[in-house]
Amino acid sequence: MRKKTYLKLVEYQTEQSRRHLGEVQGIYREMRGYKHDFHNHLQTLKGQLENGQTQRALAYLEQLDRQLMEVDTLLVPEEEDDAGLQSMVLSAAEDYGVRVSFITEEERLEFGKGVLTIFPPLGEAGDNERGLAVLASAGENDFLITGDMDAATEAKLLETYDLPDIEALAAGHHGSKYATSQALLEALRPETACISVGSNSYGHPTEETLLRLARQGCDIYRTDLHGTVHLAWNQEDSYG
């Protein structure tokens, strides 16, 4: 993939490169994995190319290329989504030779001393309720990701599976007031909450969610304020 990308970048060594910003966009789509950062990356490149800084643009793309992760298996819900994007995702997986596994029941994936438990969709109201949930466990430490599910689907998750007390929680739906319910917090008692959120017109994370997390005693980390949040657990002699 890198060789193909670098061959395309040769075109940007000339003055005519300024006319090929559309192809730069194509390179980004090829360099998958930047869905929310796509616009910012493109604007950075556009400015470099329009100022004749082709070497800087080349270095910038090479840096992004080094950040790519190879994907062996893609886990997806079995049911087609309302937005009709699943077929596009599956087509991209086929193009890149990525194996696809449809999750229809609880599945455990072991990675050394760590385990990922994947839960199938439980909701029915819409795409937000039909995503996968993931429990990452390392020793006695657990981190739960519920995706965009709302409080009703969180309740189904608690009813259906025997979940442990958790050390960390990814707040649901970017901190929406309809997710990360009081029932979920009381049942799982997280100590740390991470909120994946950027600039938005929805008011995420909402004051209601932040108050619930604070009253639970959670340490709160937000990607819009703190940048990338890295969680690591090391237990001497027993883990790590």
DSSP 8-state assignment for residue 52: T
What is the pTM assigned to this prediction? 0.71
Q: What pLDDT band is residue 239 in, cutting at 50, 70 and 90?
A: very low
Instruction: Give the pLDDT confidence score for residue 92 in this predicted structure.
Output: 81
56: pLDDT strictly greater than 50: yes
Q: Which of 91-105, 137-151, 189-203 has the lowest mean pLDDT?
A: 91-105
Query: CA-to-CA distance for 197 and 225, rounded, in angstroms?
Result: 9
Mean pLDDT within 5-22: 43
> Please, what's the b/e burial string for 60-71 (b: 16 or more CB within 10 A of its CB; e: otherwise)?
ebeebbeeeeee
69: pLDDT strictly greater than 60: yes
Domain locations along the chain: 2-66, 105-226
Topology of domain 105-226 in CATH is Metallo-beta-lactamase; Chain A (3.60.15)
Q: What is the pLDDT of residues 75-111, one digit of tens each?
A: 999 888 877 778 888 888 888 789 999 999 999 999 8
